[in-house]
């Protein structure tokens, strides 16, 4: 590939603007990939909990572990951010909230709702 | 008129599956919070009810479809070498089929008492 060494490069992270609509979008992707990555663990626990009374008790005691609860905190954000950003996407598809100001508001609401769920999860684990 | 091809179908699939996943997630979370199972027997009996079991199976079908389209979109945007993209998508298919078999194995054991 041909590269032109005189191209201007602008990667000053303090000056690159990252508006809410960009944050909600990249957050949607990151949370989606993380949910997918945690799927085998979720399936394992789901299967074990239904296998036998012993399996159910093992899952219950594991879920009660402080370390496991701590792992659930980011998971609460992955799940809720992905859900709220997804609902925003479905509304945009129905042409609700497409105008710039509304789009910003919607993005802010989705990010905020995800962060509130994260906070609730943190308090619940405390 | 053009018949909707791959792109539009997967676009629709992603939205239909998203709608079901959202409804199921809210319903399941509400159940766990409002009426948490007290022990194994209660949990098992709840999942084993035909309509709950059906809702779970539909959830897993929607989930695997959603993962397939979502990860495909991520690969298409960030993985440039065609051969690597092919390898990733093939691995994804194998992984999702394995998960489907695993889910089937879990769900078929759950039968009403």
Measured between alpha carbons, how far is residue B37 from residues B25, B40, B42, B88 in Å?
A: 17, 8, 6, 39
The tens-digit pLDDT sequence of chain A (126 residues) is 556 677 877 777 777 777 888 899 999 999 999 999 999 999 999 999 999 999 999 999 999 999 999 999 999 999 999 999 999 999 998 888 888 888 888 999 999 999 999 999 999 888
How far apart are the C-alpha atoms of B84 and A13, rounded to whole Å?
30
Share of chain B above pLDDT 90, in %: 83
Asked, for residue B24, whether it belongs to a domain, the answer is yes
Q: Residue B60: its pLDDT value, please?
A: 98
Instruction: Identify the pLDDT of residue A4.
Output: 64
Per-residue confidence band for B25, with pLDDT thresholds at 50, 70 and 90: very high
Check CB contact under 8 Å for B71 and A93: no
Number of domains in chain B: 1
Percentages helix, strand, coil for chain A (3-state, rounded to 5) are 80, 0, 20
Determine whether the interchain pair A33/B47 forms a contact, defined as Cβ–Cβ distance below 8 Å.
no
* Residue predicted with more confidence, B46 or A100: B46
Contact B109, A50 (CB under 8 A): yes
Q: Tokens 């945690």 appear where?
A: A38
Output the pLDDT for position A16.
76
- Give residue B104's domain range: 8-109
Q: Which of B22, B39, B41 sits opposite A87 (nearest CB)?
A: B22
Tell me the DSSP string of chain B. -PPP-HHHHHHHHHHHHHHHHHHHHHHHHHHHHHS---SHHHHHHHHHSHHHHHHHHHHHHHHHHHHHHHHHHHHHHH---HHHHHHHHHHHHHHHHHHHHHHHHHHHH----
User: In B1-113, which ranges are E strands?
Assistant: none
Given this model, what pLDDT does residue B1 score?
A: 47
What is the average pLDDT across B53-73? 96
Quick check: is B75 in a domain?
yes
Residues of B in contact with A29 (CB under 8 A): 74
Burial of residue B70 (CB within 10 Å: 0-12, 13-18, 19+) is buried
- Residue B15: CATH number of its domain: 1.20.1300.10
Q: Which residues from B are below 8 Å from A52, CB to CB?
A: 40
- For chain A, the structural domain boundaries read 25-35+65-125
What is the band of B8 on the pLDDT scale with cuts at 50, 70, 90? confident
The answer to whether residue B1 sits within a structural domain is no
Residues in chain B: 113
Residue B55 has pLDDT above 50, yes or no: yes
Q: What is the ipTM of this complex?
A: 0.90
């Amino acid at each position: 590939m041909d590269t032109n060494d005189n191209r201007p490069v602008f990667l000053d992270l303090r000056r690159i603007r990252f508006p809410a609509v960009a944050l909600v979008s990249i957050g949607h992707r990151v949370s989606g990939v993380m949910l997918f990555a945690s799927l085998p663990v979720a399936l394992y626990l789901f299967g074990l909990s239904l296998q036998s009374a012993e399996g159910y008790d093992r899952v219950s005691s594991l879920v009660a572990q402080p370390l496991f609860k701590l792992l659930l905190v980011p998971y609460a954000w992955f799940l809720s951010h992905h859900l709220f950003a997804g609902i925003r996407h479905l509304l945009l598809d129905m042409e609700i909230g497409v105008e710039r100001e509304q789009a910003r508001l919607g993005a802010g609401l989705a990010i905020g709702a995800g962060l509130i769920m994260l906070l609730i999860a943190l308090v619940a684990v405390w | 008129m053009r018949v909707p091809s791959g792109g539009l179908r997967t676009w629709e699939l992603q939205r239909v599956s998203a709608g079901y996943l959202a409804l199921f997630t809210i319903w399941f979370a509400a159940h766990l919070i409002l009426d948490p199972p007290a022990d194994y027997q209660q949990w098992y009996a709840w999942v084993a009810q035909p309509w709950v079991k059906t809702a779970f199976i539909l959830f897993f079908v929607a989930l695997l479809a959603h993962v397939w389209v979502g990860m495909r979109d991520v690969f298409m945007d960030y993985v440039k070498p065609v051969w690597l993209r092919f390898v990733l998508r093939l691995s994804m298919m194998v992984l999702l089929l394995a998960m489907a078999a695993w889910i089937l194995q879990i769900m078929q054991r759950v039968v009403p008492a």
